[in-house]
């Protein structure tokens, strides 16, 4: 079993437990207790910074281990806000990334940042949950979902005023991606099956399939610094990035 399958297997057990105490009806009944969601990508696209960055916060990951021992996600988010970032990605997966839903809710309610819920979504229950905890956008991973699942989840998310970042790493996932009703697509430099990272992978895929990507705005993810790598991407037409460890470690 590869790393991605292992994480999703763990997540399935977590979701099964969650369903015992919180129903979809519960989430729907309590949506109004959370702030209004949506406009994640409108905010990212209107950012006047040279590089349009989704800054990620997480305590750790399978590839990096523990990044910040004294982890205060709200303090980190406020630091990002002070630095001019408008969008944040928050890990809520607990088993491998040490996240919890309250990390996201705390940031959503106490900053002006638009929030991407970074987690491993395979069930519509999780999409309702994402809305309930205060997310503006959810992540879908093409490697683990069928084309039909992706389409259905996008439709549901849109009905809840949630944006969707659909990401992929492997080129063979393109057939699932290109026909989706989305404006933004992420290309992950990290192979989530074996955790190997190549910080120019997304750029090579983009250049190889540039014509196919014409209607999409591409977001390069993982393994990027906040300097020369971004300039290389920008010179080829990509100026949107999701950056976690590179920004987090600069705060240490």
Q: Which residues contact 99 (CB under 8 A, 6 or more apart)?
A: 58, 59, 90, 91, 92, 93, 118, 119
The candidate with the shortest Cα–Cα distance to 120, out of 1, 243, 13, is 13
Domain ranges, residue 34 = 3-251
The structural domain count of the chain equals 1
Q: Are 166 and 186 in contact (CB under 8 A)?
A: yes
Task: Tell me what pLDDT residue 245 has.
Answer: 78
Residues whose CB is less than 8 angstroms from the CB of residue 246 and which lie 6 or more positions away in sequence, other chains included: 224, 225, 226
CATH of the domain at 226: 3.20.20.70
User: How many Cβ atoms sit within 10 Å of the Cβ of residue 53?
Assistant: 27
> Helix 101-110 and helix 73-82: axis angle, to 10°?
40
Q: Could you report the per-residue pLDDT of 4-42, keeping only the tens digit for each?
A: 989 999 999 999 999 999 999 999 999 866 566 779 999
What is the pLDDT at residue 161?
Answer: 94
Positions of the chain with pLDDT lower than 70, given as ranges: 32-36, 249-252
pLDDT at residue 27, as a whole number:
96
Alpha carbon distance 86, 113 (integer Å): 5
* Contact between residue 53 and residue 241 where contact means Cβ atoms under 8 Å apart: yes
Residue 23's φ and ψ, nearest 5 degrees, are: -95, 165
Task: Check: CB of residue 125 under 8 Å from CB of residue 19.
Answer: yes
Alpha-carbon gap, residue 65 to 72, rounded angstroms: 17
**Helices 124-133 + 147-159 axis angle, to 10:** 30
pLDDT per residue over 68-94, tens digit each?
A: 778 899 999 999 999 999 999 999 999
Q: What is the pLDDT at residue 250? A: 65
Task: List Cα–Cα distances, 106 to 49, 83, 111, in angstroms.
Answer: 26, 19, 8
């Amino acid at each position: 079993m590869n790393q991605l399958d292992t994480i999703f297997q763990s997540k399935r057990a977590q979701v099964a437990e969650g369903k015992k105490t919180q129903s979809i009806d519960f989430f729907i009944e309590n949506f109004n207790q959370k702030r209004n969601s949506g406009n994640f990508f409108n905010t990212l696209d209107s950012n006047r910074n040279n590089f349009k960055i989704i800054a990620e916060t997480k305590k750790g990951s399978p590839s990096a281990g523990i990044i910040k021992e004294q982890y205060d996600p709200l303090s980190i988010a406020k630091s990002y806000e002070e630095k001019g970032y408008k969008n944040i990605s928050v890990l809520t997966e607990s088993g491998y990334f040490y996240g919890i839903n309250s990390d996201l809710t705390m940031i959503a309610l106490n900053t002006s940042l638009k929030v991407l819920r970074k987690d491993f979504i395979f069930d519509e229950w999780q999409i309702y949950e994402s809305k309930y905890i205060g997310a503006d956008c959810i992540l879908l991973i093409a490697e683990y979902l069928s084309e039909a699942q992706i389409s259905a989840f996008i439709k549901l998310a849109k009905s809840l005023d949630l944006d969707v970042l659909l990401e992929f790493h492997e080129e063979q996932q393109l057939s699932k991606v290109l026909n989706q009703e989305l404006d933004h697509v992420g290309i992950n430099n990290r192979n989530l099956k074996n955790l190997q990272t190549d910080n120019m992978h997304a750029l090579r895929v983009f250049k190889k399939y540039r014509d196919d990507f014409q209607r999409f705005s591409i977001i390069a993810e993982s393994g990027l610094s906040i300097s020369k790598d971004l300039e290389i991407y920008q010179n080829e037409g990509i100026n949107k990035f999701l950056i976690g460890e590179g920004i987090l470690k600069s705060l240490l």
